[in-house]
Amino acid sequence: MMANDQVSYRHWRPEQDSEGIVWLTLDRADSGTNALSREVLEELALLLDNFAGSPPRGVVIRSGKTNGFIAGADVHEFTRITSHAEALELIQRGQSILTKIEQLPVPTVAMISGFCLGGGLELALACRYRIAASTPETKLGAPEVQLGIHPGFGGTVRLTRLLGPVAALDLMLTGRAIDGRKAKQLGLVDYAVPERQLVNAARATILHPPTPKRPGLLQRLPGTAPLRPLLAWYLRRSVASKAALQHYPAPYALIDLWQRYSGNLATMYLEEARSVATLITSSTARNLLRVFFLQERLKTEGRGADFKPRYVHLIGGGTMGGDIAAWCVLQGFHVTIQDLDHGRLAKVVQRAAGLFKKKLRSPRLVQAALDRLIPDRDGAGIGRADVVIEAIFEDADAKRALYRQIEPRLRPDALLATNTSSIPLEELGQALTRPGRLVGLHFFNPVAKMQLVEVVAAAGTDPAMVARAMAFVGAIKRLPLPVKSSPGFLVNRILLPYLLEAVAMEMEGIPASAIDRAAVEFGMPMGPILLADTVGLDICLSVARILARHYPIEVPKRLEELVAAGRLGRKSGHGFYDYKNQQPVMPSGKAASPLSELAERLILRLLNEAVACLRERVVADGELLDAGVIFGTGFAPFYGGPLHYLQTKGPEALRQRLDDYAMRYGSRFTADQGWADLIAAGKGGA
């Protein structure tokens, strides 16, 4: 009998079998997912201390949840950290508990099925052996950099020791997750076996422990003292091409940590903890954490209604229609796509096949996906579909004519959605005998990359249909953002003034490349001029014209001239830039004013429109607005969203800058009346 049996645990379930192996199951109370909260770790410490007197034959750590092993540390606890000292204490306590696992005098196995991420991977690394299920659901990774930190429970030490620096740093710098088979190839796990053999494998490993794996000389070589600076230099350079130091310090901190301390493991544990404590209290990490929670909130929005769609019908085989169709197929739906032109349908299938090959890899899965995609010239799928999405060209009359034609064939309970990017629902719904059934589902290009979908509802829209639309977006693993039907909805409306300001600046003679560089240095993923070229100048122009009917927007002549000249952007080979092999030829050019000033001018337009949208309640609250702009435009996530950025900088100061710009450039910089509320709220709260 073990001492453990007398103690009852909330999160852990220890069971000793007849061979003396302790099976330690983590089944976190009050949560569907295992995360390493303080309480979970302290309980583990208690358990491990109890082994000290009479150690078992071996210990297997496994999960009692069906969705995975351990998802990571408990990120909610991060938000409660107020100081560096507090952070350091928390991290070092975690380190010392995992070290207890490592120091057990008996074989230990982490039995992994499903996700094993972040702190979960660090716990597994503290075990002597790791055995993973070879299922596609099994994902191992160290995604900490995505939250602005790096592994802190000894992961930087143990992963490097296990894999050698190249593979280990690659996993930690990219944050990518790998499946069981890949993990076996890398040496991250000792065995990757079918689910049905997990228990056998864990048991056999404890009873006949093999020599633990260590990286070969070749893998260790780049970590030797003479070569370390070389690898560090190379890694810094490749990180710099993706994330700037001033915006994303975590990857640089990780490289520093490894370069300086990997020669001395004892120090490296301490320095790892110090580094994470510094990072976790930085504004970048706090803002990235905010973005993580915003994402979770949008995911929750998609979990409401009890709607289990299976068949989706797309009308319109253009880029958007085709890409939405392909994405839905990828998520397991059966999709019919309707277009009168066989050639366009053929291109849809071709592009979809490309996406499936990239995402699914296995030829069997690619084939299954292609089988679920049905080109449907005659619209046979309309009467079968749970969800019908119209994605034809932006012409209200054409859309209305289409709705009249298809409405009698729709199932009464089917969700009818339009992918219009700018036409208000009220204008389109008139064509239906049940106008309330029409919902907007506004996807962003490219569909496979952009997580956001605006779910648009007008005043008369049936709430049940909106709930279905939200659930559908959740089901296809996109983030639903509920927005009010108004011209441009949220994302395009906020983005357009920013793009048009860039065009105005280009007309003033500021080099396009300087404008783009300014935006990228600010933290945008892509400059506005290049973005306009990528979206297509004809599309930008059309959105601008539609929005100009509702808002005081001047459509720049330059845009009209370029479109008239057939310079449509990347797709036509020429736009603001010229393109060679789809890549822009960036002429070097210097701006007269500093880049930060250019960026400020661009961003102020964006912020001003964001304030207007908040005031008009285009979305329900500021959090949703920030989430929409981040996931719909890629707005610098480390600022936590435009409104959060605005609050950080202080609304009063920004408002002052707007007034200055209005004096110089005119009414388009006139501060929205919503600023007054923000300033007042700030003062009231202070």
Partner 1 sequence: MSNTEAYKGGRPVYIVDGARTPFLKARGKPGPFKAADLAVAAGKALLVRQPFAPETLDEVILGCIIPGPDEANIARVVSLRLGCGKKVPAWTVQRNCGSGMQSVDCAALNIAHGRSELVLAGGTEAMSHAPVLWSEAMVAFLGEWSRARSIPAKLGVLARLRPAHLKPVIGLILGLSDPVVGLSMGETAEELAYRFGISRPQMDAYALESHRRLALAQDEGRLTEIAPLYDSRGNVYERDEGLRRDVDMASLARLKPVFDRPFGNVTAGNSSQITDGAAWLLLASREAVDKYGLKVLGRIVDNEWAGVEPAQMGLGPVHAMAPILKRQGLKTEDIDFWEINEAFAVQVLACMAAWQSADYCRTELGYTAPFGAIDRNRLNVDGGAVALGHPVGCSGARIVLHLLHLLQRNQARRGMASMCIGGGQGGAMLIERGEG
Catalytic residues: 122, 144
**Of 56 and 381, CB closest to partner 1:** 381
In terms of CB distance, is 303 or 342 closer to partner 1? 342
What is the 8-class DSSP label of residue 678?
H
Q: Which is nearer to partner 1, 302 or 322 (CB)?
A: 322
Beta carbon of residue 446, minimum distance to partner 1 (angstroms, whole number): 18
Q: How far is the CB of 676 from partner 1 (least distance, A)?
A: 55
Residue 70 identity (one-letter amino acid): I
Pairing of strands 129-133, 108-112: parallel
- Total of residues contacting partner 1 (CB under 8 A): 24
Binding region for partner 1 (CB under 8 A) out of 47-55, 77-85, 381-389, 479-487: 381-389
Q: Please say which residue, 10 or 342, places its beta carbon nearer to partner 1.
A: 342
The SS3 of residue 579 is: strand
Residue 552 is which amino acid?
A: P
DSSP 73: B
Report in angstroms how near the CB of residue 381 gets to partner 1 at its nearest: 5
Type and span of the H or E element at 22: strand 21-26
Task: Quote the DSSP letter at residue 13.
Answer: E
| Site for partner 1, residues 357 to 376, rule: CB under 8 A | 367-368, 370-372, 374-376
Please identify which residue in 380, 565, 592, 681 interacts with partner 1, judged by CB under 8 A.
Answer: 380
> Which listed range, 132-140, 148-156, 377-385, 595-603, lies at the site for partner 1 (CB under 8 A)?
377-385
Please compute, for residue 537, the number of CA atoms within 13 A of its CA located in the half-sphere on the CB side. 26
Q: Which of 627, 621, 661 is nearest to 642 (CA)?
A: 627
CB of 362 to partner 1, least distance (A): 14
Nearer to partner 1, 58 or 309 (CB): 309
> Is residue 377 involved in binding partner 1 (CB under 8 A)?
yes
Beta carbon nearer to partner 1, 248 or 327: 327
Q: By CB under 8 A, name the one of 14, 249, 309, 381 that touches partner 1.
A: 381
Sign of torsion over alpha carbons 461, 464, 466, 469: negative
- Which has the closest alpha carbon to 577: 562, 591, 596, 592? 562
For the stretch 88-91, contacts whose Cβ atoms lie closer than 8 Å and that sit 24 or more positions apart, written own/partner, are: 88/273, 88/274, 88/277, 90/38, 91/152, 91/153, 91/272, 91/273, 91/276, 91/277
| CB 510 to partner 1: min, Å | 41
- Of the candidate spans 64-72, 101-109, 347-355, 580-588, the one that interacts with partner 1 by CB under 8 A turns out to be 347-355
Rounded CA-CA distance 345/348 in Å is 5
Q: 247 or 377: whose CB is closer to partner 1? A: 377
The smaller minimum CB distance to partner 1, of residues 29 and 346, is found at 346
**What is d(CA 242, CA 254) in angstroms, rounded to the nearest whole number?**
15
Return d(Cα 614, Cα 606) in angstroms, integer: 12
Q: Where in 303-342 is the site for partner 1 (CB under 8 A)?
A: 334, 336, 342
Non-local (6+) Cβ contacts of 353 within 8 A are 366, 370
Q: Which is nearer to partner 1, 370 or 676 (CB)?
A: 370
The window from 262-270, 344-352, 554-562, 674-682 that contacts partner 1 (CB under 8 A) reads 344-352
- For 142, phi and psi rounded to 5 degrees? -125, 80
d(CA 548, CA 556): 11
Q: Name 448's Cβ contacts closer than 8 Å, sequence gap at least 6.
A: 323, 326, 327, 330, 355, 359
In the range 136-155, which residues lie near partner 1 by CB under 8 A? Answer: none
Rounded distance, CA 246 to CA 523, Å?
A: 10
Which residue among 121, 345, 415, 520 contacts partner 1 (CB under 8 A)? Answer: 345
Residue from the set 83, 350, 648, 670 that interacts with partner 1 by CB under 8 A = 350
Task: Give min distance, CB of 356 to partner 1, in A.
Answer: 9
Query: According to the binding rule CB under 8 A, does residue 468 interact with partner 1?
Result: no
Amino acid type, 240? A
**Which parts of 135-290 are beta strand (E)?**
139-141, 177-178, 191-193
- Select from 38, 299, 347, 668 the one that contacts partner 1 (CB under 8 A): 347
DSSP string, 539-563: HHHHHHHHHHTTS--PPPHHHHHHH
Shortest Å, Cβ 379 to partner 1: 10
Give the DSSP H or E segment for 63: strand 58-63
Q: State in angstroms the smallest separation of the CB of 2 from partner 1.
A: 45
**Cβ-based nearer residue to partner 1, 384 or 615:** 384
Contact 190, 162 (CB under 8 A): no
In 3D space, the residue among 403, 417, 421, 408 whose CA is nearest the CA of residue 476 turns out to be: 417
Binding mask 173-202 for partner 1 (x = CB under 8 A): ------------------------------
Instruction: Give me the 652-671 binding string for partner 1, x by CB under 8 A, dash otherwise.
Output: --------------------
The CB-of-321 to partner 1 minimum distance in angstroms stands at 15
Mark 452-491 as b/e (b = at least 16 C-beta within 10 Å): bbbbbbbeebbeebbbbbbbbbbbbebbbbbbbbbbbbbb
Footprint of partner 1 on 573-602 (CB under 8 A) = none
Task: Compute the distance between CA of residue 634 and CA of residue 647 in angstroms, rounded to an integer.
Answer: 19
Choices 44-52, 378-386, 419-427, 663-671; region in contact with partner 1 by CB under 8 A: 378-386
Q: Which of residues 346, 401, 565, 681 is near partner 1 by CB under 8 A? A: 346
Stretch that binds partner 1, among 76-84, 343-351, 568-576, 640-648 (CB under 8 A): 343-351
Binding status of residue 378 toward partner 1 by CB under 8 A: yes
| Residue number, 322 or 511, with CB nearest to partner 1 | 322
Question: Shortest distance, CB of residue 313 to partner 1, whole angstroms?
Answer: 10
Could you tell me the strand order of the sheet in which 108-112 lies? 12-16, 21-26, 58-63, 108-112, 129-133, 191-193
Taking the least distance from each CB to partner 1, the nearer of 375 and 511 is 375
CB of 351 to partner 1, least distance (A): 8
CA–CA separation, 607 vs 292, rounded Å? 22
- Binds partner 1 (CB under 8 A): choice among 384, 558, 649, 657: 384
Min. distance of Cβ 372 from partner 1 in angstroms?
7
- Spell out the residues 6+ positions from residue 246 whose beta carbon is closer than 8 angstroms to its own: none
Query: Looking at 41, 112, 132, 349, which residue binds partner 1 (CB under 8 A)?
Result: 349
The site for partner 1 (CB under 8 A) is made up of: 334, 336, 342-343, 345-347, 349-350, 353, 367-368, 370-372, 374-378, 380-381, 383-384
